[in-house]
Amino acid sequence: MAGHSHESNLKRIWIVLGLLSIITAVEVGLGIVKPDALHLHGPGTSWLNWIFIILTLAKAYYIAWAFMHLEGEKKWFRRAVVWTAVFLICYLLFIVLFEGGYLYDTLAPLIKW
């Protein structure tokens, strides 16, 4: 019995490693190539930055899901943890991207960047 549970945990570790490695490889590949089509200005920043933000959040969620064992918790607890984090991260992104752009536009004549 102990050998069987060890095999399933080992398989799970390889699956998590593979998925996180694929997401990281996509992020690194986009960071190296930096496609010109993604440098178009999106809401607050370029589309390339939005892709990085979304992929990073996906990795953070999956790490919490797998390594903090959220998949085994009750539904209400998972939602409380995940939705609180999602709300706070989205709020932080809004402040950094939109208000940072406002500060840049306002201070651009005064400060040499």
* Chain center to CA of 24: 10
Kindly report, residue by residue over 44-94, the tens digit of the pLDDT: 678 888 899 899 988 988 888 888 888 888 889 888 888 888 889 889 988
**Which residue in this structure is represented by tokens 């589309």?**
47
pLDDT score of 44: 66
Kindly state the helix (H) or strand (E) to which residue 79 belongs, with its residue range. helix 75-94
Three-state DSSP class for residue 43: coil
pLDDT score of 18: 95
H-type alpha helices, 34-74: 47-67
* Whether the predicted pLDDT of 101 surpasses 80: no
Pairwise CA distance, residues 60 & 34, whole Å: 23
- Percent of the chain scoring above 90 in pLDDT: 21
Pairwise CA distance, residues 71 & 81, whole Å: 12
Pairwise CA distance, residues 72 & 12, whole Å: 14
Q: For residue 7, what pLDDT band results from cuts at 50, 70 and 90? A: low
Q: What end-to-end distance do the CA atoms of the chain give, in Å?
A: 64
Residue 34 backbone phi and psi in degrees, to 5: 50, 70
Whole-number mean pLDDT of the chain?
83
